[in-house]
Amino acid sequence: MPPPAPPMLSARTLLLILGFLAAWRAAILIFSYIFDHLGPGTCGVGVPWPLSYSACWDTQWYQVIAAQGYTYTPGEASSVAFFPLFPLLIRYTDRLLPGGDILAALVVVHLALAVAIIYIYQLVRLDFPEPIAWRTLFYLLAFPSALFFSVVYPESVFLLGLAGALYHARRGQWLRAGLFGIVASATKLIGIVVPVVLFVELLAQGVVNWRRSRPLLGVILSPLGTLGYLAWLQWRFGDFRVFFVAESYWMRESFEPVILLGVKRLMGDLNGLAFYPLTITPVPSIFLLMDTSLLFLFIVAGIVLWFWVRPSYGALVLTASAILTFSGNPQSLMRYLVVLFPAFILVSRIPWEPVRNAISLFSILGLGFITFSFVNGIWAG
């Protein structure tokens, strides 16, 4: 049976959550300004200040897709490697609001993030007291790659899809869970884990009944974002595999487990650094070790979540981590890991305050490092 509803979200709590989000966003902006003046500040060239701090690297791909649609050129980097929901939201928001596509994208990003953290707060409150919910939000937004929740990247929209799907599944609202699953799977390929997560939750609630269609329908709906995009590619370009061909341009192919690249680097092997060219990453060893170490910790967190918190939470972290492990490229692992929010529930439950404080310190320092890198045109994920 699904759990009872969480305590009603009071107006005061809602304002506190939004205030916390606003303070976090203001801190990101202030430090972006400082770091921009400490370094070359090459991010967002041609974009009005202060929007320029949020428009770098993959941002241009989403701008092109929103404005012109998809193109595919064999042997070259192609926009088909980027999923459609985020650029579609940019396109239609830009039509509604003045100010240009970057401003429209940031409106989408921050609205999605606000709703996502409300969902996460309420999800945690299904099982845990209020301090755990607040600490979960803190560790989520203090994670080094949480910067990507504030820039023109799809992570906030993807987080909303995951959080909404898991919350409504916990409540036994399977059709809503399936619809949020579509949001996730239409935003990033890794959203394909959602049906697995929903099915594990369905089993945990003991509601698997082949004669009851609604719970299973939610599970079946959830991957339609990915399947729909691949079907559209088949129709538009004659082969849905153009997505995977385009992905290979970023060296995303199935090779050895990427965690081993970090282990080998510690033993003196330099092969893993090939994924972090010096032209875009002046400290490749630091990024490689951060990415692979955090992936290992998330795998451990997924196991603990499965057995001691909630199997569906563990399923989300473990299945996503497994895909990342065999993705062939460690370069953006931190950005993919930050959306796996159940891991932060686990951190928030650590009973020893000195340990939590140490994690907070290292997380905030990492967030500062990633922010400095991003606003100065260094590859940060």
Query: Looking at residue 168, what is its pLDDT?
Result: 96
Distance of CA 72 to the CA centre of its chain: 25
Query: Looking at residue 272, what is its pLDDT?
Result: 73
Q: Rounded distance, CA 229 to CA 238, Å?
A: 13
Mean of the per-residue pLDDT values of the chain: 91
DSSP annotation of 47 reads S
Tell whether the model's pLDDT for residue 275 goes beyond 90: no
Residue at token pair 């202060």: 50
Better pLDDT: 302 or 45: 302
Q: Rounded distance, CA 106 to CA 179, Å?
A: 23
Query: Looking at residue 208, what is its pLDDT?
Result: 66
Tokens found for residue 347:
């951190």
Q: Label residue 251 by pLDDT band (50, 70, 90).
A: low
Q: Rounded distance, CA 339 to CA 141, Å?
A: 10
DSSP H helical ranges for the chain: 11-38, 59-68, 85-96, 101-125, 130-142, 155-170, 174-185, 194-204, 213-221, 224-237, 242-248, 259-266, 284-308, 311-325, 333-337, 342-348, 353-375
Q: What is the mean pLDDT of residues 225-239?
A: 96
Query: Looking at residue 259, what is its pLDDT?
Result: 78
Better pLDDT: 103 or 216: 103
* Burial class of residue 284, CB neighbours in 10 A (0-12, 13-18, 19+): buried
Q: Rounded distance, CA 140 to CA 165, Å?
A: 18
Q: What interhelical angle do 101-125 and 130-142 show, nearest 10?
A: 150
Q: Rounded distance, CA 33 to CA 110, Å?
A: 19
> What CA dihedral angle connects 145, 149, 153 and 156, to 10 degrees?
120
Question: How many residues can be counted in the chain?
Answer: 381
> Residue 173: left (phi > 0), alpha (psi -120 to 50), or beta?
beta
- The pLDDT tens digits for 316-360 are 999 999 999 988 788 889 999 999 999 999 999 999 999 999 999
Tokens found for residue 161:
């899809």
Q: Rounded distance, CA 20 to CA 16, Å?
A: 6
Tokens found for residue 206:
């003991």
Q: What is the mean pLDDT of residues 53-75?
A: 92
Helix, strand, or coil here: 91?
helix
- pTM flag (> 0.85): yes
CB 370 within 8 A of CB 379: no
Tell whether the model's pLDDT for residue 209 goes beyond 90: no
Q: Rounded distance, CA 337 to CA 260, Å?
A: 17
Query: Looking at residue 17, what is its pLDDT?
Result: 98
Query: Looking at residue 25, what is its pLDDT?
Result: 98
> What CA dihedral angle connects 365, 369, 370 and 372, to 10 degrees?
130
Q: Label residue 49 by pLDDT band (50, 70, 90).
A: confident
Q: What is the mean pLDDT of residues 30-47?
A: 86
Q: Label residue 206 by pLDDT band (50, 70, 90).
A: confident
